[in-house]
A and B are shown apart, each in its own frame.
Chain A
Amino acid sequence: MTGNSHDTVSGDLGLSIEEPLIFEQDSPGALGVDWPEADAGPDRLGGLARSGPIGLPSLAEPTVVRHYTRLSQKNYGIDTGLFPLGSCTMKHNPRLNERMARLPGFADIHPLQPESTVQGALALCREVQRWLSVLTGMPGVALTPGAGAHGELCGMMAIRAALDAGGAANADRRRVLVPDSAHGTNPATAAALGFEVVSIPEDERGRVDPGRFEALAGEGGVAAVMLTNPNTCGVFENDIRRIADAVHAAGGYFYCDGANFNAIVGRVRPGDLGVDAMHINLHKTFSTPHGGGGPGSGPVVFSEALVPYAPVPRIVEEDGVLHLEEANGRAFGRMKAFHGQMGMFVRALAYMMSHGADGLRQVSGDAVLNANYLLRRLEDVYSAPFAHSGPAMHEALFDDRALRDTGVSTLDIAKAMIDEGLHPMTVYFPLVVHGAMLVEPTETETRASLDRFIAIMRGLAERAHNGAPLTEAPFHAPRRRLDETQAARKPVLRWRPAGE
C-alpha cells in the first residue's frame, strides 16, 4: 500500500519525532560516562553488596542527549510563548539568574562547611531577607520553606506556636477561616496541622463579605484566616483592613497566601494591611524557573508578633561574622534539611537587583495593566463574572457561560488554544466559578503578544458559535486528548520489561 503524500514512512512528522522510553533503548555495553573500574580489594560493606542486576538501561551520551532533546520538543515553556496560567505567574526567566546560581561559590559549596568558609553565602541569604522584608513591610523572614505550600505550613505552624504560647485558653482555637476561592493548599495545610477548616463563601463581587466574615470570626475559637490577596477571582479584597481587624479582635492571626504578590510588588506592603504571615513564591513573583514542577522556594515573612516563633536555622550576626543559629527557645522547629533553597535565593536576588525598586514597581503595574487589557478586550465574548467589581489585578477571570449554547466548554477552549500555539490558562479554578478560565498574562509579554492572544481567543469563541469541532481539540499537539480515566483506574506508574 502506498500512503498518501502526507503520510511518512516512519510515522514521525518533521520535528515531531516519537521517542521510545530509555528502557526501550537499552544497548548493553554502551556507556554514557567513562568511570574506570575500581581496584578490586576487600570491601567493607558488611556482606551487603548488591547482587544481581539493578535493571538500569545502558545508553551512550549521543543517544542520551538526543533522547532528552526530543522530549524537550514535546513541551511548552515560557520560552515557547505566552503562558497565561492563572495563579502561576509564568513570567520570563532571565538566564543571568541561571548563570549566577551556577557560580562555583554558590553551587559548589556544602551546607555544613565551616561557617568561616561560607560568609558570602550567608550574606546573600541576608540580602534576600532584606529585600523581601522591605518589599513586604514585614520584619521577619524565614527562608527555609521549599515551596509555596511548604511556606503555608511554616506560617501556620508559627501561628499555632504563638497561640500555644498564649496559654491553655488558646488550645481550643482550632478554626481557620478559608474562602472557597482559595488554593487547595490552604485548606490542605490547615487540615494537616489539625485545624478545623471553616469555609467562607464569596459574595457577588468575588470577595469576602466583611459583615459575614465578622460574624464568622465572632463565633469564637478562631485561630486564623487564610486569605489570598489579590484573590483568585482576580480582584483586590478591598475590605482587607476590616478582615484583619476582625480576625485580630477575635484573637486570631492573619495568614496571607502570597501567590499573587506579583500584582502588588513594589506598590503595596502586606505589612501595612495587617498581615501576620505570608509566603512568597520565589518561582512566581521573583521568576525562579518553574522547571516543569519545581524546585520552588517559599520564604515566609512574619509580623513582629510571630517573629519569635520562626523556624530554625536562622542567620545571626555577631561581631560582623554571620552564623547559623540552630536552636532557639521559641522557634517552632525545622522545615527541612539544611538552610533552604540557596540556588533559588541566588536567582531571586539577581532578579530583584536587576529590577530594583523602580523596576519592581513597573512589574506590578504592567502585570495589572496587561490583565485589565485582556479583560476589557475579551469580556464581550467570554463572560467575566467579576469584570465590574473593580479593576482586575494581575489576572482576568472568565467563564464559559457565554458559550453555553455551543456545546463548547472551558476545557475545549483550553485544548483548542493548544492548537493555536498557546498554553491554556488555568481552568476550572477558582472552584467558586463554574467553568472558570483564569488568565494571567504577566508583565513580560509584548503588546503584540497580548493582541495575538486576544485575536485567537475571539476567533475561538466565534468558531465555537459556528459549530467548529473544538470538543476534539487538540489536533496538532504531540498527543490528542489523553485518557485520564484509564490512567487512574489501572495505574501504570513504571515501565516493566515485557513478560514481567
Chain B
Amino acid sequence: MRYLPITGADRSDMLRAIGAPSVEALFSDVPEDALLAEPVDLPRHASEFEVERRLSRLAGRNRAAGAGPFFCGAGSYRHHIPASVDYLIQRGEFLTSYTPYQPEIAQGTLQYLFEFQTQVCLLTGMEVANASMYDGATAAAEAVTMANRVTRRSKAVVSGNLHPHYRDTAATLARFQGFQLEAAPPMPAGGEDLASRIDGETSCVVVQYPDLFGNVRDLSELAEAAHAKGALLVVVVTEVVALGALRPPGEMGADIVAAEGQSIGNAMSFGGPHLGLFAARTRHMRQMPGRLCGETVDAEGRRGYVLTLATREQHIRRERATSNICTNSGLCSLAFTIHLTLLGETGLRRLAALNHAGAVALADRLGERVVTPHFFNEFTVRLDGGAAEAVERLAGEGILAGVPVSRLHPGAGLDDLLLVAVTETADTDDLDALAEALS
C-alpha cells in the first residue's frame, strides 16, 4: 500500500523488539468479541489511477459553475481565484503543518495570521480580529453568545433578512444554551424596523449587510438604538467583497462583525470548507472566541509571533472557556490573505466596482422586476410563476440563474422571489442570456 512504508521485515523486527508475537497481540485490551478478525465489508485498496477514475466520474455528474452563465450567491460566491493562491497554499510547509503551538517553527503560519487579522480589521473597520472560525454562520452564532457574555443578558434580536442558515445555527445554540432568539419576519424590499424590538433585556441585534435579499442600509441609527439600551450591534457579512465598495460596519457602530470570508481566495466547494471572519472592539477582546495571534519578541529580541490570550480557550480553561472551538479555518484563511494581498487596495476596489457594475447592468436589463432598491452584487427579482420553477427550467438551458428564496424560506409565501448574484465572472453575454431567458 503506497502510503504505508513499514515492510514485513520491519514488522517482524519491531515486534521482536517489543516482545509481542503479532500486531494482533497489541490489541489485547480490546474485548475479544469486538476485535474483528477480517477486514470490514468495504472495497479493498485501490491504485491512484483507479481512485481518480471513480471520483472523476462522480465529479462529472455535477454541473460546474464554469460550464455556463452562473448567478448563485446567498452566502457562497464564485469569484476568480488567482493561480498563485492555490499554488502557495499547497506548499507542504503550509498544507501539512499544525496549529502553531511551537512558535519557533511556525513563524510562517503565525506571521500570515497576524497579517490576516490586520486585513480583517481594515476590511470591517474594526479594532481586533481573530484567526478565523469554521464559517460565517458559526461566527455569527458565536457573536451572539459573546454579546450575551459581554452584556450579561440573554435575548438576541435577529433581523428577518439574516440568512436563514445563520439564523438557524444561532437558534440551535440558543435552544441548548437557554438564551432567547427573537427573529423578525423577512422583508425582501428592506425597510425593516429592528430598533423597536430592542429593550433593556436585549443582548444584541444581529443584522446582515448586505442582507439576504441584497439590501444595503446605513446601520448607524440601529447601532445608536442598540447602544442606548445597552445592547451590542452584531453585523453579519456573507459577501465580504462588498466591503471593498461599501462603508465598513465598524464606521457605523458595529460592536462585533461576523463574516463569511469564502469569496476571497476560496472555492465554493458545495458550501465548505469556508471561513468565518470575526472582528470586535478592543474592549471586548478577552470575551472573543477562537485563536488570536499576537506580536512579541524572542530571546534575542527579534520580532516574532505567538498564539496568545489562550486563557480564554478550552485547552486551558476547559469548562470555563469562552467557546469550545479548537481549530480555525487555517488554510482557508491563508487563501484569503494571499488573495487579498494580491488584490491590494486598488485591486479590491476594482474588483468590488466590477461586481457592482455587473449587478447594476443586470438590474437595468430586468427593470421593474427587481425588488431591491440598493444593493452591492446581489439583488432580488420577482418572477411570476415561481422562482424555483424558473431556476429548474433555466438549468435545463444551461443557465444557473440564482437561488430561489423558497430554498431558504420554504412556505413563507416568497416563492416568486429569486436571489441573483453577479460577480466579475459573469460577462455581458451571460447577463444578456439571463435577461433574455427570464423575459
Contacts and interface: CB of A to CB of B under 8 A. Distances in A.
Contacts of A46: 216-218, 373-374
B131 interface: yes
Interface string B110-139: 011011011101110000110110111110
Interface stretch (A1-9, A300-308, A372-380, A461-469): A372-380
B58 to A, nearest CB: 4
Contact of B34 (A148, A272, A486): A272
A110 B268 contact: yes
15 contacts: A65-B88, A68-B88, A90-B96, A121-B62, A267-B30, A292-B98, A326-B410, A336-B169, A354-B3, A369-B6, A377-B17, A423-B102, A480-B302, A492-B294, A493-B292
Given A153-B324, A484-B306, A332 B99 contact: no
Contacts of A344: 272-273
A354 B92 contact: no
B29 A32 contact: no
A105 B64 CA distance: 5
Contact of B138 (A23, A135, A150, A484): A150
Contacts of B334: 68, 291-292
B55 interface: yes
A107 B112 CA distance: 24
A35 B114 contact: no
Looking at A42, A57, A79, A110, the one whose CB has the most chain B CB atoms below 10 A away is A110
Contacts of A452: none
A108 interface: yes
Nearest to B104: A477
Interface in B141-167: 163, 165-166
Interface residues of B, number: 207
Given A102-B267, A356-B45, 10 more contacts: A38-B357, A49-B246, A74-B105, A75-B94, A111-B270, A147-B326, A295-B272, A354-B2, A447-B7, A488-B311
Given A292-B109, A327-B410, A481 B298 contact: yes
- Top 5 A-B residue pairs of the complex, sorted by shortest distance between their CB atoms: A338-B271, A105-B59, A120-B61, A111-B271, A79-B92
A160 B25 contact: no
Contact of A447 (B6, B56, B363): B6
A23 B59 CA distance: 40
Interface in B1-54: 1-7, 10-11, 13-15, 17-20, 23-31, 33-36, 39-46, 48, 50-52, 54
Interface string A88-110: 10101110101111111111111
Interface string B183-218: 000000000000000000000000000000000111
B400 A110 contact: yes
A353 interface: yes
B345 A135 contact: no
Interface residues of A, number: 199
Nearest to B25: A391
Interface in B359-377: 359-360, 363, 373-376
Contacts of A65: 84, 87-88
A492 B297 CA distance: 11
Interface in A114-164: 114, 116-121, 123-124, 127, 131, 134-135, 146-150, 152-153, 157, 160
A37 B244 contact: no
Contacts of B412: none
Nearest to B24: A365
Interface string A1-33: 000000000000000000101110000101111
Interface string B296-327: 11111010111011110111111111011111
A280 interface: no
Given A54-B244, A478-B105, A370 B96 contact: no
Contacts of A92: 3
B344 A472 contact: no
B250 to A, nearest CB: 11
Nearest to A368: B26
A79 B93 CA distance: 7
Contact of B317 (A21, A55, A184): A184
Interface stretch (B74-82, B227-235, B431-439): B74-82
A294 interface: yes
Given A46-B373, A477-B104, A88 B98 contact: yes
B93 A372 contact: no
B356 A43 contact: yes
Nearest to A53: B345
B344 A59 contact: yes
A111 B62 CA distance: 11
A357 to B, nearest CB: 4
Contact of B4 (A103, A117, A444): A444
B275 interface: yes
B238 to A, nearest CB: 8
Given A333-B168, A491-B308, A33 B342 contact: yes
Nearest to A193: B176
A123 B105 contact: no
B66 interface: yes
A320 interface: no
Contacts of B297: 482-483, 486
A49 B114 CA distance: 28
A200 interface: no
Nearest to B70: A110
Nearest to B396: A116
A49 B119 CA distance: 19
B309 to A, nearest CB: 6
Given A59-B341, A478-B104, A373 B14 contact: yes
A336 B135 contact: yes
B144 to A, nearest CB: 13
A290 B98 contact: yes
A104 to B, nearest CB: 4
B259 interface: no
Given A107-B268, A113-B63, A341-B273, A355 B25 contact: no
Given A83-B98, A121-B62, A188 B34 contact: no
